[in-house]
Structure 1
């Protein structure tokens, strides 16, 4: 298999879950990070959905690019499909990204875009509605508040300012571990 890169914009940034040999900050044009997906497995349930990030159309997104370790390409794609496609709310796609490591390299990366026609697509919700959903969400991977806070902390640690996520997080209190 040819060299495989993966673009992460949410929890993949701080918990990729696959072996990689290189990582770099990266920019994807044509989609932006948004809390626009009802989570019914990882951060919520069907009875009480959570709200997770998706790459929605328009704009641009700063995230992380991971070069998958040689020989781990097939197992990584299988892992990502199991993780990201559990309810088929994301569309697997290969998109051009620009590495922001000073090299200026442009390469193609595997990523997952939100499917706007899927029942779990939340679209644009008011801040109050997002907060209500995030506060109540808890799924197989843990609490929804923890997910939002960890993602925001990781973004800030890597120099990415996400004003929408920051405004939500300003109203959240992370539960005691």
Structure 2
């Protein structure tokens, strides 16, 4: 991957395409989770390709290539949502499920998750449990302190736990 990055920094489009090809499925999945439809996710992928090719010279640490591309993908996704004023996220999400490390194992559909969390909380939960990033990787990716990344995850888990408790009392 290092040789492709060196070539891409010099403007080699073929090398850059090989980089994107390597990460396209992960990046597409992130985009799709944000915008919930194929057309918008593909638009985001085009924007990610444009922005990342234009600014690949800004990538200081090649070990963080995937993190850097993921951050661009998240930013493009949020930008598209703001532009189209679709601030109500994920009304019809496939039945993907998350498992959380909490006091006990909880399962919620992705749709449930995204209805009750803020954008910041959604982002860290998706990165932590869907993309399997560590807290440090999340902090680096979002350019926030490590403590903030942990706090946001724990706050989101607390919100989810509370929602589960409330559902349990209303389902009976």
Bigger Rg, which one: 2
Common fold by TM > 0.5? no
TM-score (norm 1): 0.32
Q: TM-score, normalised by structure 2?
A: 0.33
The structure with the largest strand share of the pair is: 1
